[in-house]
Amino acid sequence: MRTTIASLSREIISEADAYLYLENMRWHGETKCPKCLSTDVHYVTPTNGVSRTTAGGSQSARRVWRCTPCRKQFSVLTGTIMHATKISVRTWVMVIFEMCASKNGVAAREIERKYGLCPRTAWHMLHRIREAMSHDDYVLFSGDVVVDEVYIGGNPEFRHANDTREVGIGRGSKKTPVVSVIDVNTHTVRSQVLESVDSKALGDAIRMNVDTATTTLHTDSFRGYLSVGRAMAGHYIVDHKAGIYATDKTNGTNLCENYFAQLKRGLKGTHIHVDPKHLHRYLNEFDYRYSTCELTDSERMADLGTRLAGKLPYAHVIA
Ligand SMILES: [Zn+2]
**pLDDT tens, position by position, 26-64:** 999 899 999 999 999 999 988 777 778 877 777 888 899
Residues with CB under 5 Å of ion ligand 1 are 33, 35-36, 38, 67, 70
Per-residue model confidence as pLDDT tens digits over 246-274: 888 888 899 999 999 999 999 988 887 78
Distance CA 193, CA 139 (A): 20
C-alpha pair distances (Å), 221 with each of 148, 210, 272, 311: 10, 20, 31, 40
> What angle do the packed helices 297-305 and 15-27 form, to 10 degrees?
80
Superfamily (CATH) of domain 141-274: Ribonuclease H-like superfamily/Ribonuclease H (3.30.420.10)
Distance between Cα 52 and ligand 1 center (Å) = 22
> What distance, in Å, lies between the first and last C-alpha atoms of the chain?
42
Mean pLDDT over residues 208-225, rounded? 94
Residue 140: DSSP 8-state:
P
Count Cβ atoms within 10 A of the Cβ of residue 126 and give its class: 0-12 exposed, 13-18 middle, 19 or more buried: buried
Distance CA 263, CA 176 (A): 14
Distance between Cα 152 and ligand 1 center (Å) = 45
Distance between Cα 77 and ligand 1 center (Å) = 15
Distance between Cα 31 and ligand 1 center (Å) = 11
Distance between Cα 43 and ligand 1 center (Å) = 13
- In this predicted model, which residue has the larger pLDDT, 175 or 31? 31
The sign of the dihedral angle between the CA atoms of 291, 212, 205, 306 is positive
pLDDT at residue 117 greater than cutoff 90:
yes
Closest residue by Cα to residue 74 from 131, 116, 32: 32
Residue 100's contacts (CB-CB under 8 Å, 6 or more residues apart) are: 289, 297, 300, 301, 304
Q: Are 267 and 152 in contact (CB under 8 A)?
A: yes
Distance between Cα 37 and ligand 1 center (Å) = 6
Confidence of residue 245 (pLDDT cuts 50, 70, 90): confident
- In this predicted model, which residue has the larger pLDDT, 195 or 115? 115
Residue type, 236: Y
H helix intervals, the chain: 5-11, 15-27, 89-101, 108-115, 119-132, 199-207, 226-230, 254-266, 279-291, 297-305, 314-318
Distance CA 230, CA 208 (A): 16
Distance between Cα 75 and ligand 1 center (Å) = 12
Distance between Cα 42 and ligand 1 center (Å) = 11
Distance CA 202, CA 207 (A): 9
- Strand, coil or helix: what is 110? helix
Mean pLDDT over residues 141-168, rounded? 73
Residue 156: predicted pLDDT: 58
pLDDT at residue 10 greater than cutoff 90:
yes
Per-residue model confidence as pLDDT tens digits over 81-112: 999 889 999 999 999 999 999 989 999 999 99
- What residue segments make up the domains of the chain, in order of their start? 5-132+307-318, 141-274
